[in-house]
Amino acid sequence: MSAALTAESLGLDSPSAMVQTDVLIIGAGLAGLSTALALPKSLNITILSKAALEICSSHYAQGGIAASLDKEDSVADHIADTLIAGAGLCEASNTSRILSAGQQAVQWLCEQGVPFTQIPQQDNAKPVTKLQTELQTTDLHLTREGGHGCRRVAHADDATGRHIMEALTIKAQNAANITILPYHEALSLLTNSANPNNQCQGAQVFDHNNQRQLTFYSHAVVLASGGLGQLFKRASAPNVCVGDGVMMAWQAGCRLANLEFIQFHPTGLAVADSSFLISEALRGEGGHLTCPQTGARFMLEIDERAELAPRDIVARAIAEQISNNGLGYVHLDVSHLPEQFLREHFPQIYQTLFNLGIDMTREPIPVAPTAHYSCGGVVTDANGVTDLIGLYAAGEVAYTGLHGANRLASNSLLECVVVGRNIAADLPRYLKALENLNHVTSYDHSNLLATAIWTAPTLKDIQTIKLPSSPTILFNSSHCDNDIVTNDHAGKIVTELKVLMTSYMGITRNAESLEQILIQIQQWQQWLEKIRLNQSSMGTLDGTITADELTLFQLARQLQLATLIIQSAYQRYESRGGHYRQDYPHLASTPRTSVIVPLSKLREADKTGSKEGGIDWLL
């Protein structure tokens, strides 16, 4: 908590609080903190964290941040590698803008006190503690990861995310204009939809500390809520990552894009239900993937880049090996690398494995793919601008087009910093224009000004995903049994949903399995309808919500999001990047971005009787 802003000064000590702040940031990960720290100090900023501050994907990132820092590297080469990994679906302009800012992003992180690993200095050389005004990139130790043509990943040992987040959190907590509120979960975005210049004005929030609902009003909102990995059984993301930010934006008027492209990290630790990742940097330093039964390397026959092929290729190869061997894992072997090197460069991985009885310097590591990253999300440009006036988005919740059909390793942390800083540069301009707009009384003039101050992102070569024409009305419950759904039952449904998503929406997919999971989701939604928590009331949150109702609200939103993801996968009749269809194994002739129109437009089409974009459910 900053010195200037406290719970009392924000009004949070009242029973039913309404809070005013200049900028509301939903999410305290790297994207959220980068935005907050780069914004002018004259702005009062409130950051919401759904749980404790360290419970975010950024904190658990191991590998590092990719940027063309080496003198033998170039931005053009970084862009080329990204476009190859993205399999034709990267947005070229945004990709170029984001990657071109790589050096500046790393320099900014160093200025915040991030202790990146450096090349050992000679005895007579002065230690380098941060990048200088003119980047001395040779001072940083760079590693290599899959899909990269050279070493370009700056890192802090093998716990880059933790080091970055610790440094930025300290900065934010010491900033007089920033207030961080842990255990405050955003439920829905506030909009003035009655105004023709619809804009985002804050959020409804559940305060878990005091079990109450709050209303936050702000001049601008930054959505940095993270991904949706926890829709799957095996996931690297913490349990707060259920895609709620994606759903809030969609319900408020934003398009979603490429939700079917869920990236699976090839090498999650395959011990019990562990969510621990074995960094791709181990393969970058020479690690081998081998068959547990024969000890033979199998990637040599799959791709000329072997273990350093892009993640989608490696994950599918591992999944096939697991299917054949029936063991549930393959081996990652680094025992041929120097022991001292492994201990020094991968201390966290070494110690974690050693505590589990695995000495990676002498024996192989059991690994299997795990859900890791959503390449799709809320449509934005490189400045984080969404379709909704006043709403920015950054990080995994957003779709800038940088990752295309398959994220290039370590581009995600870079995107968080660059887009976060771009938002911080653009947001004051928006606030100034908004202030001028509020002084205009002419309707026509204000409408023109609104267009001038906020330009929604554009997409080319799109495929609109067809959805039911009445998505806010749940299914007829005449065929349901008479059981009453309880919160315990809701927890069991969440567990079963994760199993189904992993089995049917995992590394490989086909029409039959996608139809099966849609049928099951429909039945669960019918059960929710039976207890009168229909999605229209749960989505708008006109009244307050209790802790018990929150559980069912969260479940309904996860089921709706899963439906959107599955429909996107069902209607992409090709295999590209992280989306592999067994019944459509080849590339389509034209790469198209799959787009889900905002919920509000579906409602309008339903009211007017238009069937555009609406289809029956697959039953």
Positions marked active-site: 311
Between strands 262-269 and 200-207, the pairing is unpaired
Is residue 368 within 8 Å of 198, Cβ to Cβ?
no
Element of type H or E holding 35: helix 30-38
Rounded distance between C-alpha atoms, residue 276 and residue 352, angstroms? 9
To the nearest 5 percent, what fractions of the chain are helix, strand and coil? 40, 15, 45
- 528 vs 532: CA distance, rounded Å: 7
SS3 label, residue 218 = strand
Residues in the chain: 619
For helices 599-608 and 244-252, angle between their N-to-C axes, nearest 10 degrees: 40
Structure tokens that stand for 503 in this block: 């089995």
B/e letters for 43-74, b = 16+ CB within 10 Å, e = fewer, are bbbbbbbbbebbbbbbbbbbbbbbbbbbeebe
> Phi/psi of residue 616, each to 5°?
-75, 155
> Does residue 146 contact residue 160 with C-beta atoms inside 8 Å?
no
Instruction: Give the C-alpha separation, 397 to 377, whole Å.
Output: 5
Asked whether the beta carbons of 612 and 602 are under 8 A apart, the reply is: no
What is the Cα–Cα distance from 229 to 236, expressed in whole angstroms? Answer: 7
* Residue type at position 164: I
What is the helix (H) or strand (E) element at residue 369, kind and residue range?
A: strand 365-374
φ, ψ of residue 46 in degrees (nearest 5): -115, 130
Spell out where 449-548 has E strands: 462-464
CA pair distance 236, 301, nearest whole angstrom: 28
- CB of 431 within 8 A of CB of 453? no
Q: Is 586 buried (19+), middle (13-18) or exposed (0-12) by CB count in 10 A?
A: exposed
Question: What is the residue whose two structure tokens read 């506030």?
Answer: 190
Would you say 52 and 183 are in contact if contact means Cβ atoms under 8 Å apart?
Answer: yes
In angstroms, rounded to a whole number, what is the distance separating the alpha carbons of residues 45 and 216?
A: 12
What is the rounded distance in angstroms from the CA atom of residue 540 to the CA atom of residue 574?
36
Question: What Rg value do the Cα atoms of the chain yield, rounded?
Answer: 24
C-alpha distances in Å from residue 200, one per residue of 1, 20, 145, 329: 25, 14, 39, 46
Cβ atoms of 398 and 259 within 8 Å: the answer is no
Residue type, 22: D
**78 backbone dihedrals φ, ψ, rounded to 5°:** -65, -45
Amino acid identity, position 272: A
Tell me the C-alpha distance between 71 and 137, whole Å: 7
